[in-house]
Amino acid sequence: QQPVQSPQAVILREGEDAVINCSSSKALYSVHWYRQKHGEAPVFLMILLKGGEQKGHEKISASFNEKKQQSSLYLTASQLSYSGTYFCGTEPVKAAGNKLTFGGGTRVLVKP
Amino acid sequence: DAGVIQSPRHEVTEMGQEVTLRCKPISGHNSLFWYRQTMMRGLELLIYFNNNVPIDDSGMPEDRFSAKMPNASFSTLKIQPSEPRDSAVYFCASSNPGFQPQHFGDGTRLSIL
């Protein structure tokens, strides 16, 4: 079952912060985050594993709440380059290894 | 280092024709994934291979779709016969085993007329 991402879209001014959530109805072992710019391939940002700590990439960080089966991606002091669609990919417990189910995506537009 | 290489980048063909998409994974990666992306359905996993062996093809939409990985450096996704609803961007991705990042190719934009 596909994880649910919220919000579906967000518009920011440069320097503002945003949070993107990814929720699953299944117990999760790992959550992957990717960013895709228009007309390009998804690009890996970070992986969070069950029991793992919060991760960071530039001023983008993420957390993983195992009890809530939810991950959140934090865009801090957003830059124009952060614009794109963000996808979470989830892997349930006892999965075969690296098979991801992607959420529907969150479109982020950062304006000057 | 070379990334995942897909060909062709664009394909336009008429319905009923056979379509073959090609993928060369990153050298040393053991896992290969084929995805389809559309506005309506998002990013869907079609099939994935570990060590050239198909592990899960539950996402393959129907018998018209088939995928092979004859060796560690090459995979194909074939659609025969093609239909307009197959129009989408098809991505190939590869990774090392065990909760590692997936590296995506640039995709093939397929249009079936």
- A30 to chain B, any CB pair closer than 8 A? The answer is yes
Residues B56-70, mean pLDDT to the nearest whole number: 93
Taking an 8 Å cut-off on Cβ atoms, the answer to whether B99 and A47 are in contact is yes
User: For residue B99, what pLDDT is reported?
Assistant: 74
Closest residue of B to A32, CA-based? B101
Q: What are phi and psi of B109, to 5 degrees?
A: -90, 110
Q: Alpha-carbon distance A102 to A55, whole Å?
A: 19
pLDDT tens for chain A, 112 residues: list them: 899 999 999 999 999 999 999 999 988 888 999 999 999 999 999 988 876 666 666 789 998 888 888 999 999 999 999 999 999 999 887 665 678 999 999 999 999 9
pLDDT of residue A96: 58
Chain A contact probe: residue of B37, B53, B56, B99 with most A CBs at under 10 A: B99
Is the N-terminal amide bond of B25 cis, ω within 30° of 0? Answer: no
**How confident is the model at residue B62, as a pLDDT?**
86
> Dihedral through CA A25, CA A27, CA A29, CA A33, nearest 10?
20
Span B97-109, average pLDDT? 90
Q: Which pairing describes strands A70-75 and A84-92: parallel, antiparallel, or unpaired? A: unpaired
What pLDDT was estimated at residue B100? 85
Inter-chain contact A98–B45, Cβ cutoff 8 Å? no
Nearest by Cα to B21 from B72, B69, B84: B69
By the 10 Å C-beta count (0-12 exposed, 13-18 middle, 19+ buried), A52 is classed as middle
By the 10 Å C-beta count (0-12 exposed, 13-18 middle, 19+ buried), A15 is classed as: exposed
Rounded to an integer, the average pLDDT of B73-90 is 97
Structure confidence at residue A54 (pLDDT): 62
Q: In 3-state terms, what secondary structure has residue B56?
A: strand
SS3 (DSSP) at A11: strand
Q: Compare all CA atoms of chain B with the CA of A92 and give the residue at the minimum distance.
A: B99
